[in-house]
């Protein structure tokens, strides 16, 4: 069994502030370690379920956060950023049996996580896809749908877990924290490790075909920037229309064209 794991940090247990996500801050080291522990737990659960090859994309900021020495030996770890439009699931293809997410968070424009954002948090207010707020989970899960790969598991904040269930009720989720205003309520880090390991193992022992996501037939991506100047500049990208002082849209029937747009527009 060949499994892909994409991991972020803003949805690991205990996290509550941007300082805890940035390498230059003192608070970062602990949460990078917890990120590694949660990925390690997912790897152990996947291995127990029969996975003999696990690809991991370190998908937070620099792409260089995980401690590889703490992970199981059957991994292939993707560090850094290639620049490919698949971004946080770089290298995902039809050969994978399932895609899983660790440490993911709610998207920009929602109130389920004080660190909620979609892609570039410093320049993007929100991204909408076909009229709905788009999280990084949804954006990349549609890549899995594009390729026919099931989405089996997600850990992160409670709001995002609810979003996953709306997308496909068969996705196994573990909510490790809940955002309330500018705070989070989290479970104990060791409890998170146990639940992630058990949840991944449970997810991969299920009928994975039931975890496939239906891809829409057409797409409209709407991006609201933090400044009007960015919207104006990006309005010159092919087929983009500016619909407000800070907002642009791009339409396509090919999801890869939407991903190409996100790459250059965010």
Give me the active site residues, please: 117
Sorted by sequence, the CB contacts under 8 Å of residue 31 that are 6+ apart come out as 9, 12, 14, 15, 20, 21
Ligand-binding annotation for 125, yes or no, is no
**Per the annotation, does 105 bind a ligand?**
yes
Q: What would the DSSP string read from start to end of 153-208?
A: EEEEEHHHHHHHHHH-TTSEEEEEEEEETTEEEE--HHHHHHHHHHHHHHHHTS-G
Q: Which of 177, 18, 212, 213 is nearest to 103 (CA)?
A: 177
With contact defined as beta carbons under 8 Å apart, do 179 and 116 qualify? yes
26 is in an annotated binding site: no
Query: Is 136 annotated among the ligand-binding residues?
Result: yes
60 annotated ligand binder:
yes
Question: Phi and psi of 52, rounded to 5°?
Answer: -110, -5
Distance in angstroms (rounded) separating the CA atoms of residues 118 and 121: 7
Tokens encoding 203? 């997810």
Nearest to 31 by CA among 61, 73, 69: 61
User: Which residue has 């909510």 as its token pair?
Assistant: 175
Binding residues for Zn(2+): 8, 10, 60, 105, 136
Binding residues: 8, 10, 60, 105, 136
């Amino acid at each position: 069994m060949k499994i892909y794991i994409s991991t972020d940090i803003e949805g690991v247990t205990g996290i509550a502030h941007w300082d805890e996500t940035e390498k230059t801050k003192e608070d970062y080291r602990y949460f990078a370690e917890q990120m590694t522990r949660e990925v390690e737990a997912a790897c152990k659960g996947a291995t127990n379920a029969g996975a003999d090859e696990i690809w991991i994309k370190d998908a937070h900021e620099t792409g260089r956060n995980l401690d590889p020495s703490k992970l199981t030996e059957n991994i292939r770890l993707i560090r850094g950023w290639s620049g490919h439009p698949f971004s946080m699931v770089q290298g995902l293809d039809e050969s994978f049996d399932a895609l899983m997410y660790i440490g993911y968070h709610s998207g920009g424009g929602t109130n389920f996580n004080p660190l909620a954002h979609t892609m570039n948090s410093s320049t993007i207010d929100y991204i909408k896809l076909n009229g709905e707020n788009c999280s990084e989970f949804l954006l990349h899960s549609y890549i899995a749908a594009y390729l026919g790969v099931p989405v089996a598991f997600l850990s992160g904040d409670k709001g995002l877990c609810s979003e996953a269930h709306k997308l496909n009720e068969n996705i196994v989720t573990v909510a490790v924290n809940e955002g309330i205003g500018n705070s989070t309520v989290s479970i104990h880090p060791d409890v998170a490790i146990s639940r992630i390991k058990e949840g991944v193992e449970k997810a991969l022992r299920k009928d994975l075909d039931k975890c496939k996501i239906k891809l829409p037939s057409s797409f409209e991506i709407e991006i609201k920037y933090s400044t009007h100047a960015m919207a104006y500049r990006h309005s010159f990208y092919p087929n983009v229309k500016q619909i407000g002082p800070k907002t642009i849209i791009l339409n396509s029937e090919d999801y890869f064209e939407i991903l190409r747009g996100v790459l250059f527009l965010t």
